[in-house]
Amino acid sequence: MERKFADLHIHIGRTKTGRPVKITGAKTLTLTNILHTAKNRKGIDIVGVIDCHSPEVIAEIGELMERGQLIERGEGGLLFEEKILLIPGSEVEVHDRFSRGPIHALCYFPTLERMKQFSEWLSGQVKNIHLSSQKIRATGRQLQRTVKELDGLFIPAHVFTPFKSLFGKGVEKNLAEVFDPDAVDAVELGLSSDTAMADGLKQLHRYPFLSNSDAHSLGKIAREYQALAVASLSFSETVKAIKGQGGRRILANYGLNPLLGKYYRTVCASCLQPPAPSGRCPRCGSDKIITGVSDRIRELSDAGERPARPPYIHQVPLEFLPGIGAKTLEKLLERFHTEMAVLHDAREEELLEVLPERTASYILKARRGELPIAAGGGGRYGKVAGG
- Domains of the chain in start order, with CATH, are 2-256 (3.20.20.140), 259-292+317-384 (1.10.150.20)
- What is the pLDDT at residue 269? 73
Given the DSSP bridges, would you call strands 187-188 and 209-210 parallel, antiparallel or unpaired?
parallel
Phi, psi dihedrals of residue 139, rounded to the nearest 5°: -80, 170
Cα separations in angstroms, 155 against 49, 270, 283: 14, 32, 39
Identify any residues that bridge with 228 across adjacent strands, giving them in sequence order.
4, 250
CA 15, 18, 19, 25 torsion-angle sign = positive
Residue 257: what pLDDT? Answer: 80
Nearest to 78 by CA among 92, 64, 95: 64
User: Tell me: the pLDDT tens digits for 19-28?
Assistant: 999 999 999 9
Residue-level pLDDT at 291: 79
Other Cβ atoms within 10 Å of 72 Cβ, number: 18
| Cβ-contact 283, 342 below 8 angstroms | no
Contact in structure between 128 and 137 (CB atoms under 8 Å): no
Query: What is the predicted pLDDT for the residue at 385?
Result: 67
Helix locations, 173-316, DSSP H: 195-198, 235-243, 293-300
Q: In the 8-state DSSP scheme, what is residue 227?
A: E
Amino acid 11: pLDDT: 97
pLDDT of residue 264: 80
Measured from the Cβ of residue 64, the count of other Cβ atoms closer than 10 Å reads: 19
The mean predicted confidence, pLDDT, of the chain is: 91
DSSP string over 318-377: GGGSTT--HHHHHHHHHHHSSHHIIIII--HHHHTTTS-HHHHHHHHHHHHT---EEPPB
Residues of the chain with pLDDT under 50: none
